[in-house]
Structure formats: C-alpha cells, structure tokens
Amino acid sequence: MKKELAFVVPAFNPHENWHEILVTRFLEIQTHIPFFQFHLYIVNDGSSVPISKESIQYIQREIPNASYLTYEHNQGKGHALRYGVSHAKEEYVLYTDIDIPYTSASIIKLLELLPQHDVVMAIKNEKYYQYLTPQRRFISKSLQFCIRLLFRKLPTADTQCGLKAMNAKGKEQFVATTIERYLFDLEFVYLAAKNNLDIHTFAVELREGILFRKMDKKILLQELQNLGRLLMKRN
C-alpha cells in the first residue's frame, strides 16, 4: 500500500507560466516515485498580483490531487508553508519552492531516504553557490558561520536550503515554528534537534538556469530580530 505524501509549495506573485513549470516538474518527480501517493498543496501567500483561476484550473486538471489554499495578506514564506503543512492530512510532508528548483534526482533521493528518518533536509553543494547573487552568497555563508558558533548541537549549519521532508514527528515540530519569513528553516531544525528527532542531510543539486533574487533589506533586518529571538530560546 502506498504511503501518502503532501507536497507543499508557497506562491507569492509567481512568474508567468509558473503553473506549467510546476505541473511539468511535479509530474516528472511523481512518475519516478511509485511508493508514495502525492497530494499537491499550493499556498497563495497573499499575492499582490492575482493568481488566475485559469492557472489553478489547469493545475487541478493535470494533477487531480491538488489543493489550492489562499489568504488575503502576505505573511511570508514561513507562514505560508506552516499554513500548508497544518492543512495537510498526509503522514509525510515535503516542502520546496513553487518552481521546484532542485533536480528531480535530488528530490527522488530525498523521498527514498524519508521512510528511514524523521526529517530529511537538503544542504548546498559548492556548485549551488554559483547560482546565488553575491548578496545571497554572503548572507548564506555569514549565517552558517553564526549557526556553527551559536547553535552547536544542530546536525548542520546549512539550515536554509529550501527542500525538506518529514514524517509525523517532524510535522509536529514544523507546525510549532513561529517565524514568518526566512529563518523559519533554522527554527524548524532547531526544534527537531532539540526534541531528538532523527535528522538526515544530503547535498542537493539545482536545475540548470536557476537564479535567486536579491533579498529585501527590510526582511534582513526582521530576520536579525528573529535570530535574536531564537538565541533567547536556547537552553
């Protein structure tokens, strides 16, 4: 009997043809994973540019097990994923970005590992950093330095890679997170490690041509505050 998997992606002002890319990449992965029954959850994180009914109808026509969740105001990626995961009824959960920027082989490997662990999380290989803007590369390396220094009990300092999967134990810790934006990943890994979950890491590969946008300075300031909040929670 197949195990059920929630595949959760956040949407905020997605680019043109996002729905076609999502369907193509999702179906490619699903075809190569016979031991999971997939359910796609798309969470509209209060997009300021309306997501068309036609794009959602297209997705649900091509992927019958697809749910569309939405709310009015933008809350941040952490909030959107927590909203989607909390609505998921499936035993296992995977979350990633709406364009599924990681190779199908990487996601297939993650799902093959998932039944053996509570949490399986991708980490960046060296090639990954070639796809980042200089700003994001600096932020990523600096944050990893801080995590190694301040959160010594974590299984990795590379907590921010946007591909993770979990079982019911992991899901319980994920929905207990509170950070709305960038550092929700760090909070999740911190809670999972604190509660002695079995966390497995592996190096992930990006698809060719993937580019990441610069981060807004206001968000960076908010995340510095969130980092301070996490430090206060340590015991």
Residue 132: both structure tokens together: 């980042």
State residue 227's pLDDT score: 76
What's the pLDDT score for residue 129? 67
Element (H, E) at 124: strand 119-124
pTM of the entire structure?
0.91
H or E segment at 28?
Answer: helix 18-31
Q: Residue 22 has what pLDDT?
A: 97
Name the residue ranges covered by the structural domains of the chain: 1-100, 103-235
pLDDT of residue 136: 76
Domain 1-100 has CATH 3.90.550.10: yes
| Cα distances (angstroms) measured from residue 84 to each of 6, 120, 221 | 9, 18, 26
pLDDT, averaged per 10 consecutive residues of the chain (235 residues), comes to 94 94 96 94 96 97 97 96 97 96 94 97 80 76 86 92 96 96 94 97 87 64 72 70
pLDDT of residue 144: 86
Which residues on neighbouring strands pair with residue 36, listed in sequence order?
3
Residue 226, C-beta contacts closer than 8 angstroms, at least 6 positions apart: 179, 181, 182, 183, 187
Round to whole Å and give the CA distance between 208 and 10. 21
